[in-house]
C-alpha cells in the first residue's frame, strides 16, 4: 500500500484535560487516489493530515508513505493551508518559485515552470502582483501552483477552501478536481463540508469526534464527471448525512 | 496640495516657536550675551557657515554617527535574528540585557574615555550602545512574532538555514525590526551630542561646550538648532528608506 496508517494514536493535554485526537486509527491509501477526510471539528482529521504531512508525530502506531516512516515534512508531499501561507513580500511569480529555489532549479527554468503552473490555475498575467492585491480565491490558486511546481507525489489540503465564499469555493473545487486528473497526484483533502467531499473524493473517510476515530470509509461511485444536481450525487450525499446521524458505533465499510 | 498643507503646518509651528523665543528675549532681563535673540542666533549661524566651522563639525559628527549607528544596527539585527530563533538561549541572555539596558550610555563615558582616550571612539561607542538595545530587543521580539505558517511552509518546501533566515525570517520580521531601528535613530542622535560633549575635541557636541567656554550663547543656540534640524532630516531619510524597502517587498503586512 502506498500510504499506510496503522493503529495511530495521538493525545493532547489541553487545559489540564487529556484529549484523544486519534484513537487507534488505521487507513490505507493507494497512489493516485483522491481521499477526503470528513468530520466535525475535533474528530482528528487535521491531526491525521498533519501526521501524514510530517508536521506532527503520533504517540503510538505508525504512519508510512511508500514504505518509509514519516518523520518530517518533505518537499515531495506538499501541504496547502486554509490561510494560504503565501509570503507577502514576494510577488506571485516569486512565491511559486519558492520550492524550486530549494530544489536548485536554474533561474530561467524556475520562471518557466512557475509560469506553466500559474497558467494551469488560471492566473497567467498575475506574475508581478503581490499576494495582498489578490482575492482569497486567487491567493489559494497561487498556493496550489506553488505546490504543483515542485512536482510533489502527494498534495495534502487542510480545509483549503474554508475561508472562501460559496461560489469561489465551487469554482476551486472544479479546478482542483480537473488538476488532480491532469496531474495524476494523490490528494488527501480535509473538510467538514459533506457536499465538498462527495464532489471531490474517490473515497470519503468519515471521522467522528471524542475520541477522534474513523467511523466509516465510503467509496464514491460517481466517476470523473460530477454534477452537484444529479440524482446519484444527491443520493451519495444523503447517505453520508445519514451516516452522521447514526448512533451505531461500529465500523462500517460502505459500498454503494 | 496635501504636501503644501503639511508644509504650511511646519512653517506656522516653527514661526510660533520663534515668536515665543523673541517674546521671552524681550521681556526677560538677562544679558543679551547670555540669552540671545533669534536674530543673534541666526547671525551666529551665518558666521559659522561662512568660516566653515559648522560644516567641518557636522561632517565629523555625521561620520561618527554613521559609524556607530550602522555597526550597532547591523550587529544588533544579526544577533537578534539568531537569539530570536533560540528562545532557550535567550532566556539566559535576557536578564543580563535587562540589567544593562536601563543604564544611560553616558554612564559608560568615563570608562570608555579611560580605555580609548579622547577622540572619535568614545562618541562612536556611545552611539553603538544607545542604538544596540532597542534594535536587538525589537528584532528578537519580531522573530518570535512571525506567523508560524511561514515556518511551516518553509519546512515543507525544504528551505533550511541559512536561506531560511534571509529568505523568510528577516523579511517576515522586517516591519517590526524597522520600528526598532527607527526608534534607535532618535536615541542614537541624542547620545551623539552627549558623547561629543564629554569625549571629543570636535563635532557638534564639542561645539556646544566650546561655545559655553567662550560665553557665546548665540553660537550655542545656533548649534542646538542645527542638531534639531539634522535630527529631523535623518528621521525623514530613514522613513524614506523604510518605505522603499517595504514597497520593493510589495508593501508587506
Condensed to tens digits (0 to 9), the pLDDT of residues A6-60 reads 988 888 887 778 888 888 888 899 988 999 999 888 888 889 999 999 998 888 8
- Residue B75 burial by Cβ neighbours in a 10 Å radius (0-12, 13-18, 19+): middle
- Residues in chain B with CB shorter than 8 Å from the CB of A77 are 156
Residue A82 touches chain B, beta carbons under 8 Å: no
A31: left (phi over 0), alpha (psi -120 to 50) or beta: beta
Q: Are A137 and A92 in contact (CB under 8 A)?
A: no
A136: contact with B, CB 8 A cutoff:
no
Q: Which is nearest to A49 in space by CA: A237, A205, A181?
A: A205
pLDDT over threshold 90, residue A216? no
Q: What is the distance in angstroms between the Cα of A90 and the nearest Cα belonging to chain B? A: 6
Q: Are A3 and A65 in contact (CB under 8 A)?
A: yes
Give the Cα separation of B127 and B105 in Å (integer).
8
Res. B253 pLDDT band, cuts 50 70 90: very low
Inter-chain residue contact B251 with A130, CB threshold 8 Å: yes
State how far the Cα of A75 lies from the Cα of A160, in Å rounded to an integer: 19
Partner-chain contact A131 B250, CB within 8 Å: yes
- CB-CB contact of B202 with B60 (8 Å): yes
Measure CB to CB from residue A89 to each of B153, B160, B249 and give the nearest one: B249
Q: Do A85 and B160 touch (CB under 8 A)?
A: no
Å between B171 CA and nearest CA of chain A: 7
The answer to whether residue B149 neighbours chain A at the CB level (below 8 Å) is: yes
Residue A87 sits at the chain B interface (C-beta within 8 Å): yes
Dihedral angle sign, alpha carbons of residues A154, A158, A163, A168: positive
Q: Which residues of B95-115 are buried (b: 16+ CB within 10 A; e: fewer)?
A: eeeeeeeeeebbebbeebbee
Nearest to A98 among B157, B174, B251 (CB): B157
Crossing angle of the two packed helices A166-183 and A136-149, in degrees rounded to 10: 10
CB contact under 8 A, A91 and B250: yes
A194 and A237 Cβ atoms separated by less than 8 Å? yes
Separation of alpha carbons B112 and B121, rounded Å: 8
How far apart are the C-alpha atoms of B8 and B21, rounded to whole Å? 20
Which of A87, A99, A131 shows the shortest C-beta gap to B168? A87
User: Do residue A130 and residue B172 have CB atoms under 8 angstroms apart?
Assistant: no
Q: What is the pLDDT of residues A84-94, one digit of tens each?
A: 999 999 999 99
DSSP-assigned beta bridge partners for residue A37: A190, A205
Rg over alpha carbons for chain B, rounded to the nearest Å, is 22
pLDDT value of position A251: 61
Distance CA B174, CA B172 (A): 6
- A132-145 tens-digit pLDDT: 889 888 999 999 99
How far does chain A reach from its first CA to its final CA, in angstroms? 23
Can you tell me which residue has the cell 544596540?
B132
Specify the pLDDT at position A249: 53
- Residue appearing with cell numbers 495534502: A156
Residue B100 CA to residue A13 CA, distance in Å, equals 39
B175 touches A: beta carbon within 8 Å: no
The C-alpha angle B8, B10, B15, rounded to 5 degrees, equals 95
Contact status of B79 with chain A (Cβ, < 8 Å): no
**Minimum distance, in Å, between the CA of residue B252 and any CA atom of chain A:** 5
pLDDT tens readout for residues A102-111: 888 888 989 9
pLDDT digits (tens, 9 = 90+) for B76-114: 999 999 999 998 999 999 999 999 988 888 888 888 889
B242 vs chain A: nearest CA distance in angstroms? 14
Does B152 contact A at CB distance below 8 Å? yes
CA distance B133 to B76: 8
Q: Is A153 on the interface with B (CB under 8 A)?
A: no
Beta bridge partners of A14: A17
Rounded to 10°, the helix B38-50/B53-84 angle is 90
Alpha carbon distance A155, A180 (integer Å):
9
Percent of chain B topping pLDDT 70: 98
Amino acid at each position: 500500500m502506498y500510504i499506510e496508517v496503522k493503529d495511530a494514536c495521538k493525545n493532547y493535554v489541553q487545559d489540564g484535560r487529556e484529549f484523544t485526537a486519534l484513537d487507534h486509527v488505521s487507513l490505507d491509501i493507494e497512489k493516485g487516489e483522491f481521499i477526503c477526510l470528513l468530520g466535525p471539528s475535533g474528530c482528528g482529521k487535521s491531526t491525521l493530515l498533519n501526521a501524514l504531512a510530517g508536521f506532527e508525530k503520533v504517540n503510538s502506531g505508525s504512519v508510512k508513505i511508500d514504505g518509509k516512516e514519516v518523520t518530517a515534512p518533505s518537499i515531495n508531499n506538499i501541504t496547502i493551508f486554509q490561510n494560504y501561507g503565501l509570503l507577502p513580500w514576494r510577488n506571485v511569480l516569486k512565491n511559486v518559485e519558492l520550492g524550486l529555489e530549494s530544489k536548485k532549479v536554474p533561474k530561467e527554468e524556475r520562471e518557466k515552470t512557475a509560469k506553466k503552473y500559474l497558467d494551469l490555475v488560471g492566473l497567467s498575467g498575475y506574475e508581478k502582483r503581490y499576494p495582498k492585491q489578490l482575492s482569497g480565491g486567487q491567493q489559494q490558486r497561487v498556493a496550489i501552483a506553488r505546490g504543483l511546481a515542485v512536482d510533489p507525489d502527494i498534495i495534502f489540503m487542510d480545509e483549503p477552501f474554508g475561508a472562501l465564499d460559496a461560489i469561489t469555493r465551487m469554482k476551486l473545487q472544479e479546478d482542483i478536481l480537473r488538476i488532480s486528473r491532469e496531474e495524476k497526484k494523490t490528494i488527501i483533502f480535509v473538510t467538514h463540508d459533506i457536499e465538498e467531499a462527495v464532489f471531490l473524493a474517490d473515497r470519503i473517510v468519515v471521522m467522528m469526534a471524542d475520541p477522534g476515530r474513523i467511523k466509516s470509509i465510503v467509496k464514491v461511485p460517481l466517476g470523473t464527471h460530477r454534477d452537484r444536481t444529479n440524482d446519484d450525487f444527491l443520493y451519495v450525499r444523503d447517505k453520508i448525512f445519514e451516516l452522521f446521524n447514526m448512533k451505531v458505533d461500529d465500523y462500517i465499510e460502505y459500498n454503494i | 496640495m496635501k504636501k503644501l498643507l503639511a508644509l504650511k503646518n511646519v512653517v506656522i509651528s516653527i514661526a510660533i516657536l520663534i515668536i515665543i523665543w523673541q517674546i521671552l528675549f524681550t521681556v526677560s532681563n538677562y544679558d543679551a550675551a547670555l540669552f540671545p535673540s533669534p536674530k543673534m542666533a541666526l547671525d551666529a549661524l551665518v558666521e559659522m557657515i561662512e568660516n566653515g566651522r559648522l560644516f567641518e563639525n557636522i561632517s565629523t559628527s555625521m561620520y561618527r554617527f554613521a559609524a556607530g549607528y550602522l555597526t550597532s544596527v547591523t550587529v544588533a539585527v544579526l544577533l537578534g535574528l539568531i537569539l530570536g530563533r533560540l528562545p532557550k538561549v535567550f532566556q539566559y541572555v535576557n536578564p543580563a540585557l535587562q540589567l544593562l539596558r536601563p543604564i544611560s550610555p553616558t554612564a559608560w563615558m568615563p570608562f570608555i574615555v579611560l580605555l580609548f582616550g579622547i577622540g572619535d571612539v568614545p562618541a562612536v561607542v556611545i552611539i553603538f550602545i544607545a542604538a544596540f538595545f532597542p534594535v536587538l530587543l525589537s528584532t528578537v521580539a519580531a522573530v518570535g512574532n512571525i506567523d508560524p505558517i511561514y515556518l511551516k511552509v518553509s519546512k515543507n518546501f525544504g528551505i533550511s538555514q541559512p536561506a531560511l533566515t534571509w529568505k523568510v525570517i528577516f523579511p517576515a520580521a522586517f516591519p517590526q525590526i524597522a520600528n526598532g531601528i527607527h526608534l534607535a535613530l532618535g536615541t542614537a542622535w541624542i547620545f551623539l551630542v552627549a558623547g561629543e560633549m564629554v569625549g571629543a575635541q570636535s563635532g557638534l557636541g564639542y561645539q556646544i561646550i566650546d561655545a559655553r567656554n567662550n560665553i557665546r550663547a548665540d553660537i550655542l543656540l545656533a548649534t542646538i538648532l542645527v542638531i534639531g534640524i539634522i535630527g529631523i532630516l535623518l528621521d525623514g531619510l530613514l522613513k524614506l528608506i523604510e518605505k522603499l524597502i517595504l514597497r520593493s517587498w510589495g508593501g508587506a503586512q
